[in-house]
Amino acid sequence: MPDSLARDDRWTPPLSAGRVKPADVGENDVLPMLLGMARCIERSDEDGAFVAFVDLLDRIQSCGMDLRMKTQCFAQALLKNIDWKTGHGTLHGALFESHADRFPPMELAAGVAGTILEGLLERREDAVLVDVGIGNGGRVAGLLRSLAGRGTLPRSLTVVGIDPAEGALAEAEATLSSLASGLGLPFRFRAVPSRVESLTAAQWDGLRPIGSRIFVNAVFSLHHVGGNGTRDAVLRNLKSLKPEALVIAEPSADFESEDLLLRLAHAWRYYGACFSILDRMDISQEERTMARMFFGPEIVDVLGMPADLRGERFDTVPRWLSRLRDAGFRPHADLCRTAARPAEGILETTLGADHVGFGFEGQVMSAAICVR
């Protein structure tokens, strides 16, 4: 292929030129598609590169194994540019946002956590919500809309957003402030630009007087806190806020172990179950491909990263419950009266004194936990 093609501004990614039938894709067709991805990356079009990547994987499904592996290696290498330019884990974070609302173990655990939190916050006076890993505030916005729809908004609300991404915090503040104003809800937002495990003693002390009715929410965020001692210290610090409730949602697997063989065995079972769940879901091939993209970086993190750099440090539900008990938390009486909707079709639901679990073929995949 002439070098001029790679720099031809008139040349567009293959998505805009119509689909290529999988059977028609050969060695000479792949480079133009990779160049389309590269051009998106060069102009900082993260969404375009992502869509082109998904489309490329879809098109090579019927190709020979050698060409598929070669193409995937080059395409995944190109995508590393996105995380490098826009912040480590950006692509994975974007995939999480689109994936969590549809993949049953995540959807159900997060949904039950939200239902629990709604019941706790409704019509409260001077409620304070401490959200660990708030991101851009999308989940809290959904919570407020749901409460407003039922006419059960708290009388006033302060949201403390803890997140290392300052841009996301700014977006969360703008989104939630605007929404609260439209709903007539007295509202304050306090941004804490930090990882929760990096908060200093002075910062924790500064959070304690913020209100007497504190509720803590942590949806799929605490497993990123690394190291047993660090994780337990965070739970003790959260307990020191004397919250009326701590609501968390987490996957269930033992990725915290330093034993590679144990992590491999747990990863094989957990992600094997994830792939089986995907195969049973009524979704398009493109959505299935996107979901597998989400799991890929996680598996690399679990099995291929040094201990101090791993981010996907899942714990089992029994170990989470043990950690919470050791930190001084006890089951919350309101859990049993929440609408823990049974899983439909794919997952089984179990209700404990302090958690709602979701399983697949006898294996616990995720849980929503409520303690005080």
3-state SS class at 342: coil
d(CA 217, CA 117): 8
What does the pLDDT read at residue 344? 58
Domain that holds residue 20: 3-86
Tell me if 260 is assigned to some domain. Answer: no
Tell me if 16 is assigned to some domain. Answer: yes
The answer to whether the beta carbons of residues 367 and 320 sit under 8 Å apart is: yes
CATH at residue 347: 3.40.50.150
The answer to whether the beta carbons of residues 251 and 220 sit under 8 Å apart is: yes
Tell me if 264 is assigned to some domain. Answer: no
* Domain match, 115 and 236 both: yes
d(CA 240, CA 232): 12
Q: Which of 210, 34, 213, 234 is nearest to 132 (CA)?
A: 234
3-state SS class at 360: strand
In which residue ranges of the chain is pLDDT below 70?
A: 1-24, 82-101, 228, 286, 290, 335-344
**Could you read off the pLDDT of 295-313 as tens digits, one per residue?**
877 888 899 888 888 888 9
* Domain match, 27 and 63 both: yes
What does the pLDDT read at residue 96? 53
* Domain match, 15 and 147 both: no
Tell me if 292 is assigned to some domain. Answer: no
* Domain match, 74 and 38 both: yes
Task: Look up the pTM and report it.
Answer: 0.77
* Domain match, 156 and 246 both: yes
d(CA 119, CA 104): 22
What does the pLDDT read at residue 87? 39
What does the pLDDT read at residue 337? 55
* Domain match, 152 and 202 both: yes
Tell me if 248 is assigned to some domain. Answer: yes
Domain count, the chain: 2
* Domain match, 58 and 114 both: no
**Phi and psi angles of residue 52, each rounded to the nearest 5 degrees, phi first:** -65, -40
Output the six-digit token pair for 351: 């209700």
Tell me if 261 is assigned to some domain. Answer: no
The answer to whether the beta carbons of residues 337 and 119 sit under 8 Å apart is: yes
Which among 38, 53, 86 is the end of a domain?
Answer: 86
Tell me if 354 is assigned to some domain. Answer: yes
The answer to whether the beta carbons of residues 183 and 218 sit under 8 Å apart is: no
What does the pLDDT read at residue 7? 44
* Domain match, 63 and 124 both: no
d(CA 358, CA 372): 22
**Phi and psi angles of residue 331, each rounded to the nearest 5 degrees, phi first:** -55, 145
Which among 55, 86, 117 is the end of a domain?
Answer: 86
Which among 57, 86, 115 is the end of a domain?
Answer: 86
What does the pLDDT read at residue 336? 58
What does the pLDDT read at residue 126? 92
